């Protein structure tokens, strides 16, 4: 696909927060008991790919990618990142997009205007220091 073109522009503090979110979301929503293994690619790490792309979260079963997840932050729900969503949506696997709760409307508008199909749009927020992930109807 379009390897290396999409690098989110985040401050170093925001990148640390993003990487923590990726880890927490992977544990909360990509934990399997059927032999599926979940990998994360924080801060440019290349632990597991799909067609030479490195989504934030990659779930693999029997050497086949069964799901990918992309975690956005307040500053990365935008036109530039939507290009990456287009690339990930083209894969023949489940694609889940995670956005901060206040950015759900912006993400939905981008998905609609760019005709981006995802398996699931999910919002996240912290409530009493606990990560809460919510499935959004699309």
How far is it, in rounded angstroms, from Cα 42 to Cα 35?
22
pLDDT digits (tens, 9 = 90+) for 77-109: 999 999 999 999 999 999 999 999 999 999 999
Question: Is 125 a member of any domain?
Answer: yes
For 113, the domain range is 12-136
pTM of the model: 0.91
Residue 5 lies in a domain: no
Q: Is residue 85 part of a domain?
A: yes
CA distances to 35, 36, 58, 88 from 62, rounded to whole Å, are 8, 7, 13, 21
Domain membership flag for residue 4 = no
Please give the span between the terminal C-alpha atoms of the chain, in angstroms, as a whole number. Answer: 26
CB atoms within 10 A of CB 26: 20
pLDDT tier at 4 (50, 70, 90 boundaries)? very low
Domain count of the fold of the chain: 1
Position 44 confidence tier, pLDDT thresholds 50, 70, 90: confident
Residue 50 parent element (H or E): none
pLDDT of residue 14: 84
- Nearest residue to 46 (alpha-carbon basis) of 55, 34, 35: 55
Domain holding 89: CATH number? 3.40.1350
């Amino acid at each position: 696909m379009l390897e290396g073109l999409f690098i989110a522009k985040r401050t170093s503090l925001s990148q640390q927060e993003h990487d923590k979110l990726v880890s927490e979301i992977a544990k909360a929503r990509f934990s399997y008991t059927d032999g599926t293994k979940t990998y994360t690619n924080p801060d440019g790490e290349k632990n597991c790919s799909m067609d030479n792309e490195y989504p934030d979260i990659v779930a693999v079963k029997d050497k086949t990618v069964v799901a990918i997840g992309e975690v956005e932050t307040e500053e990365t729900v935008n036109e530039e990142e939507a290009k990456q969503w287009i690339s990930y949506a083209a894969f023949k696997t489940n694609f889940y997009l995670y956005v901060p709760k206040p950015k759900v409307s912006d993400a939905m508008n981008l998905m609609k205007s760019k005709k981006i199909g995802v398996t699931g749009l999910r919002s996240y927020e912290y409530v009493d220091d606990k990560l809460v992930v919510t499935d959004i109807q699309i």
